Structure 1
Amino acid sequence: MKAKAMSKNTVPRHLLITRDSHAETRLDLIKEALAADLMVPYLGPGLLQLGCAKPPVPHTPEAIASALNARAPAPSKIRTNMWSVAQFIEQRRHRRTLQGWMAEIFAAPAAPTVLHAWLATLPLSLLVDSWYDGAMRAALVATGRTDVVEIQGVTRANETKDIWTKAYDLSGIELDPVPPVETVLYVPHGSIRPAANFLVSDSDYVEVLTDIDIQTPIPDQVKQRRNNRGFFFVGCRFDDQMLRTYALQIMKRSDGPHFALIDGSVLTRNERRFLAECAVTVIDMPIDEAAARLAGSPS
């Protein structure tokens, strides 16, 4: 059964969850689709836990909130909300302080996992990395490839021009305009490398969320490359409206089908509703087993 046999799903009334042998079969088809550039990987911070019990950098928004709280305690009612804690610091201590602390929090290099390394070797038109750690970038750098451009979301608080993103080659040189390349790595929330760009506070997202429904903040290169493809979410959670909004708008107008590798037992009601409405099928399998199956040969 070839990757092209993965036809577009209609929106289900109920969330579809596959397990056991059905999940293995589905994952093998996803592997074929990724190798054929028919699917876009959408990576989340949970991927950092693959092969690493304690990642060197925070791997949840709550962990970032905790790290920021250690530097400037926020009111108890917002203490676990990363976006609100960051906004509190920006208002009380200045944007430069928030930027510097985020750079400190993510200073330790996050080593690419086996899945990052495998994805870096594929002829993918588009990858999405939704966290700040830079592991996917590091994996691409390790291959020696020169046909990759990274496009990062940037806060408009530091800009005098009307821009939403900045682009870099893998050596860290800023590019304007973006040249034609085989692979675009899209990092919508920014990244520690190469320039410590972070969208993290509530104010960072005010203008983005105002315009994201009409797609203005999303780069043209992403809009073009998501066509005729589905999305494969790995290491992602959708338990906050911000995370759901970004995922929805980035995969908007893509053909599908869409899949998410996630533990079905931990899904919240809002996550289940979101995944069902977006026709995202859940593959309920431990991430280490799934990574071995994708990056190696099926057993």
Structure 2
Amino acid sequence: MNTILTSDRLLIVRNGDAEKRLKLLQEALAADRIIPYLGPDLLRLQSTEPPVPDTPEAVSAALNKRTLAPSRIRSNMWSVAQFIEQRRHRRTLQTWMAEIFGAPVAPTALHDWLATLPISLIVDGWYDGTMRAAFAKTGRTDVVEMQGVTRANGGGDIWTKTYDLSGRDVERVSAPKTVLYAPHGSVMPASNFLVSDSDYVEVLTEIDIQTPIPEMVKERRTDRGFLFIGCRFNDQMLRIYARQIIKRSHGPHFAVLDAEGLTKNERRFLAASAITVVDLPTGEAAALLVPFGIKTDGEEGHTASGSNFRSG
């Protein structure tokens, strides 16, 4: 059976059905009818050893090389970052995070293809800035990036900052074609990082009523669903953010994941959020999403019309 509804109410599509679903999702992306939500697993499409950390645990390890945190928290990125912030100052934490994510990451064919599309909204769930780099390659001027920012520096009632692709801080934005939303911040252009426990205290207090999420993001998700690719949900923080970002969106929602490797918490989250699992390796799914023969160095290639996408 290629499509199953498991006993815990999780819908999984496999094999031929998974490939067919990816083709429909390709069309939906090209037609701006679904929102890509990108995660750090995409970093491994170019290399088995990516130039920057691709998991919270890898960030923890990189921070521990700079100053050793207590053993009880050593593998928890948020707690290690909080330890550094308290012992060494916020500026030190920000400097170290900028160093850790300072190596350039080449966009994949998927990033490059997405950057050519007139997509209303893309969510980038990691700090590496690869999607931003893909947009910069195209020379587009109709894209802005909204990044989550810490309030530890006394920023007042500010949850995000907005930048154009040149790195300029843009206070007022009228109606860009594409919004790139990086809810946890990004290394480029200004090293904004939500990473320590204290960074998230106020955000998590307010996020259930959606205050930290930009109005433009809320508007653009209303009549669309989300496609998660390169994402895991094996940490409560990641689940909270994903749940709140897709809140009040129309759906349907899909996630490219290895169904066999899901934790119990991931399965509960996916089922409760009505997210269909497309059971394929990330690399295979990414290859299926990019149209055959597409040109991805800033030149437009052919794309599908999106007319056959259905939520079934």
Letter aligned with residue 78 of structure 2: W
- Out of 173, 176, 192, which is 2:171 matched to? 176
CA deviation map 1:30-77 (0-9, x unaligned)? 111111100000001111101311110000000000000111111111
**Identity level (%):** 69
- Out of 104, 118, 129, which is 1:134 matched to? 129
CA deviation map 1:74-131 (0-9, x unaligned)? 1111111100000011011110110010011001011111111111111100000010
Letter aligned with residue 280 of structure 1: I
2:180 is the counterpart of 1:185: yes
TM-score by length of 1: 0.94
Other-structure match for 1:255? 250
Determine helix, strand or coil for the equivalent of 2:254: strand
Determine helix, strand or coil for the equivalent of 2:152: helix
CA deviation map 1:154-195 (0-9, x unaligned)? 000123331000000000000011231100000000000000
Give the conservation status (yes or no) of the 8 Å contact 1:16–1:276.
yes
How far apart, CA to CA, are the structure 1 residues paired with 2:130 and 2:292? 23
Determine helix, strand or coil for the equivalent of 1:107: coil
2:71 is the counterpart of 1:76: yes
How far apart, CA to CA, are the structure 1 residues paired with 2:278 and 2:155? 44
CA deviation map 1:267-294 (0-9, x unaligned)? 1000000000000000111122111111
How far apart, CA to CA, are the structure 2 residues paired with 1:79 and 1:177? 41
Determine helix, strand or coil for the equivalent of 1:109: coil
Determine helix, strand or coil for the equivalent of 1:151: strand
How far apart, CA to CA, are the structure 2 residues paired with 1:279 and 1:139? 30
2:201 is the counterpart of 1:206: yes
Q: Alignment length, in residue pairs? A: 287
- Out of 43, 47, 58, which is 1:48 matched to? 43
Determine helix, strand or coil for the equivalent of 1:259: strand
Determine helix, strand or coil for the equivalent of 2:180: strand
Letter aligned with residue 194 of structure 2: L
Other-structure match for 1:103? 98
How far apart, CA to CA, are the structure 2 residues paired with 1:273 and 1:213? 19
Q: Residue 13 of structure 1: CA displacement?
A: 5.6
CA deviation map 1:184-226 (0-9, x unaligned)? 0000000000000000000000000000000000000000000
How far apart, CA to CA, are the structure 2 residues paired with 1:117 and 1:202? 33
Other-structure match for 2:88? 93
Determine helix, strand or coil for the equivalent of 2:240: helix
1:7-26 map, 5 Å: 14-26=9-21
Other-structure match for 2:224? 229
Letter aligned with residue 252 of structure 1: K
How far apart, CA to CA, are the structure 2 residues paired with 1:275 and 1:86? 28
How far apart, CA to CA, are the structure 1 residues paired with 2:287 and 2:160? 34
How far apart, CA to CA, are the structure 2 residues paired with 1:182 and 1:228? 16
Give the conservation status (yes or no) of the 8 Å contact 1:44–1:237.
yes
How far apart, CA to CA, are the structure 1 residues paired with 2:157 and 2:225? 31
TM-score by length of 2: 0.90
Letter aligned with residue 50 of structure 1: L
Give the conservation status (yes or no) of the 8 Å contact 2:37–2:124.
yes
Determine helix, strand or coil for the equivalent of 2:286: helix
- Out of 27, 35, 46, which is 2:22 matched to? 27
